[in-house]
Structures are given as C-alpha cells and as structure tokens.
A = this chain, B = another copy of it.
Amino acid sequence: MAKIIVGVMGPGSASEETLATAEKLGQLIAEQGWILLTGGRNAGVMDATSRGAKESGGLTVGILPTGDRSGMSPNVDIPIVTDVGSARNNINVLSSEIVIACGVGMGTISEVLLAAKAGKYVILLHQTSSSKAFLEEFSSPRIHFVFTAEEAITLAKELLQRQSNN
C-alpha cells in the first residue's frame, strides 16, 4: 500500500535559519514514518531537509530536473531522473500528499501556486510579509501559514487526516 509522502519545497539558497527549519522538518517527517519528497538537488532547503530525514532514519525521494544524477543531494535515497527541467516542479507537488514550503524563491512559490491550483494543502514557513500578503489574496482554504517545524507537522497530520476522511 502506498506510503504517506510529504513534500518539502524551498529555495536552493537560503538563510541559516531557514535551513535549520528545513533540517528539522526532515527529522520530524522521518519520525512520523512519512517519506520525504524534495526537488533533489544538492542545494539549500532540498539538501538540508533531506539530511534531516536521514539523521532520523527516514527515506528520501528527490525529483531531479536533470537527465542524470549529477548535482543530486547525497541525502537522497531514491532519485527520480526526469530531464524535464523546471517542469518537474509540477511532479513535485502532485506526488506530495501535503506540500510544505520553507522559504521564498521563484521556484518555491511557483510550486506553492501549482500545488494550491491542483487542490493540494500547502503549509508555509519563513515567508516574507509580501509573499504572505500575496498568497493570502487568493483566499484559498488550502494555504496555511505556520511559524515552526513542529507546528507544520502537527498541521500536516490534521490535514492528512482530513484528506483520508474524504
């Protein structure tokens, strides 16, 4: 039976604080027994959160934009080699039962928008006042803002429960 897959999206370059949260998210996701899915590259939030999941004995999937494994995070267990460039952003969000976005970047917010458009729940951390104001304007019941990795996981559990009841 399919395992629970939670995606963590975030920029390839991020602040220490954002990376620390990403790592913590990975740890907590692994502790829940969920599979962590990221964009798979050896950079920023993708790498930090995958490292966190491995520290807690989790399993990590990386959806790579490239046509081979070059540039892959060493913390990815299962690299999916798409060779579709940024079009893989849509695969990231469709493959995740819940999308957690940690930090702000062009690719990251494109994923948040694609996720919400596809009817996915999205939980956001480390947003700026302008990214928050922009995303709130859509008035989407799918988009949620939290402050800590722990809050993100608590909310993810609730939302997964709500989804499985539907």
Contact = CB atoms under 8 A, between A and B. Distances in A.
A68 B86 contact: no
A117 B84 CA distance: 15
A14 B125 CA distance: 30
B86 A85 contact: no
Contacts of A128: 137
A96 to B, nearest CB: 9
Interface stretch (A1-9, A16-24, A144-152, A153-161): A1-9
Interface residues of A, number: 48
Given A83-B86, A86-B83, A35 B78 contact: yes
A130 interface: yes
A134 B131 CA distance: 5
Nearest to A86: B90
Q: Does more than half of chain A's interface fall in helix, strand or loop, or is it mixed?
A: mixed
A60 to B, nearest CB: 10
A79 B114 contact: no
Contacts of A90: 83-87, 89
A107 B115 CA distance: 10
Contacts of A82: 82, 91, 94-95
Interface centre among A68, A128, A133 (most CB of B within 10 A): A133
A83 B84 contact: yes
Interface of A: 1-3, 5, 35, 61, 63, 67-69, 72, 74, 76-91, 94-95, 104, 106-107, 109-110, 113-114, 116-118, 128, 130-131, 133-134, 136-138
